[in-house]
Chain A
Amino acid sequence: MLTVGLTQYLVLAAFLFCCGLFVMTTKRNAVGILIGVELVLNAACLNLVAFSRYRVGTIDGQIAALFIIVLAAAEAAVAIAIFVNYYRMLATIDADKGDELRG
């Protein structure tokens, strides 16, 4: 426990993943769901970088994390655009209210 190894990073990443999963599944605000997605992606990136540092030795994990960050930014942009449209149509950001196929 005194020296920090791979296990500590993986446990922390698992904790972040579980928090993100809970946020994704239970929040009703659509932007809250997006925040949950960001938490999950961060946990995955942390996992990749920790493995790359402690087990693999090359920087492939960091390259993968770099791509994840770029793609997460792109995905957040499209998601916010969708939420803005959703709000315009239904006048609420509650994800549970979008249950009609018309509109």
Chain B
Amino acid sequence: MSGEALAFYLVAALAAGSALGCVIATNIVRMAMCLLGTLGAVALLYFLLSANFLAVIQLVVYAGGTLILIVFGIMVTSRTYGEKLKPRTSEALIGTIVVLALFAGLVAILLRAPWTPVAPTEPSNSVAQIGQELLGTYLVPFELASVLLLAVMIGAAYLAQPAKKE
């Protein structure tokens, strides 16, 4: 087994284990920590797929931004320390059956799909190329995303204002 394959299986085990941890955990902060594990593992997978820039952006924005926002949300909205909200047993059972069926179906399709075995193309994705694509082919989505971020900032700041005391 080549080094790259070994690295992939280790990181994939970490990602799958963290995702299972998210599923099993009852404490919300432990779920957030398992999400950190998943995000880190996915960033490592991006490194393996030669998407270096995307991997560091995942670490900066997702693990160092969105996850911190989620943990802040947990801290602000938790009533007691270590509160456990368990799902109802019937819901959990139906959910498990449906999700397992979905996973089995997806795997069956994936293993049988006739992907013509294409040799992996030479990864020539430098940061400069991403920049040129963003400002070239994808200019309109890029500008729309910046407008969207502005709207989100204003909206979130307005929504989270302290309640006016009448």
Contact = CB atoms under 8 A, between A and B. Distances in A.
B118 A54 contact: yes
B139 to A, nearest CB: 11
Contact of A49 (B46, B120, B149): B46
Contacts, number: 216
Interface residues of A, number: 75
A72 B72 CA distance: 16
A2 B2 contact: yes
A86 B78 CA distance: 12
A21 B145 CA distance: 26
Given A22-B96, A28-B85, A31-B74, A63 B61 contact: no
A94 B133 contact: no
Contacts of A29: 28, 85
Contacts of A11: 107, 110-111
Contacts of A53: 49-51, 120-121, 123
Given A16-B19, A22-B23, A92-B79, A3 B73 contact: no
Given A14-B103, A42-B39, 5 more contacts: A18-B106, A20-B22, A53-B50, A77-B69, A77-B156
Ranked nearest first, the 9 interchain pairs of A and B with the lowest CB-CB distance are A81-B159, A19-B19, A57-B121, A80-B73, A74-B152, A14-B106, A87-B77, A81-B156, A26-B87
